[in-house]
Structures are given as structure tokens and as C-alpha cells.
Amino acid sequence: MKAIPAPIDDVFDWMTNSDNYRRVPGVFVADLVEPGAPTPQGPGAVRKVVSAGMKLTEQILELDRPNVMRYRVLSSFPPMRHEYGSMEFSSAAGGTTVTWVSRFESTAPILNGLATRLLAVGVAAGFKGVLRTADKELRARAG
């Protein structure tokens, strides 16, 4: 969970547009592979993100502006079984609270528990990088 000092609509729009992820340190690719409907980044959209430690293809399942985005990972490296992903947004004193949840496990053939824990560290670092960049850019836009 992270509070960003910006209006909920602005935070939602920044966080749910994968084009913004290109400016996150350590992210090399953030491409819209297949547009969704009724907006390009909406339900049905397929996006590819490549970072220093991960490559994934995700599909947007639900986009309810400005409250929630739900998604699933279709494929990844390192490989994982992705159960659920969401970003929920709520107005808070002085800004917006973002709650980002992702449930997954490694599909490594050996030491699966350890591989899942290591993968979780990398995923959490990626989430923090996205949230830090959103915070920085939205503060700069406001000020």
C-alpha cells in the first residue's frame, strides 16, 4: 500500500497506463501488444513488460475508473503461475492510496518455495519502482 499526494483520477490514469512504465528505472520495454476496449488500456488489452529481472505478458481483465484494475499474467520469465492481480485506488487525506496485490507462485521444478520467495522479492521491487516513479511524476506535475 502506498499513498501518493495526487487526486485519485490522476493516480489511476498514471498507474493503469503501461506507457508510463517506460520511465521506471530498470524497465526496458512496456508495450501495448493488443488494445482493449473501450479504451486501448482497457479490458482485453495485452501488455508486455520487460525489466532487469523479469519479462511478462499480462492481460487487463477489468478497468473501473478510478477504483480498480484487475489483471492476470499470461506468461512470464521467470515462469510463474499467476492467480490474481489488482490495483485498488482510494481517496485518502492529501491524495490517493494505492493497494497493489498479486498472487502467484513459481513453477520452478525444484525448490519451488524458495523460488517463489525470491520471485516475490523481485516483484515487490518492481512494484515499488513503479509507485516511486508515479509519485515523483505526479508531484512534479502538481508543483
Residue spans of the chain under pLDDT 50: none
The pLDDT score that the predictor gives to residue 105 is: 93
The pLDDT score that the predictor gives to residue 79 is: 93
* Cell (9 digits) for 1: 500500500
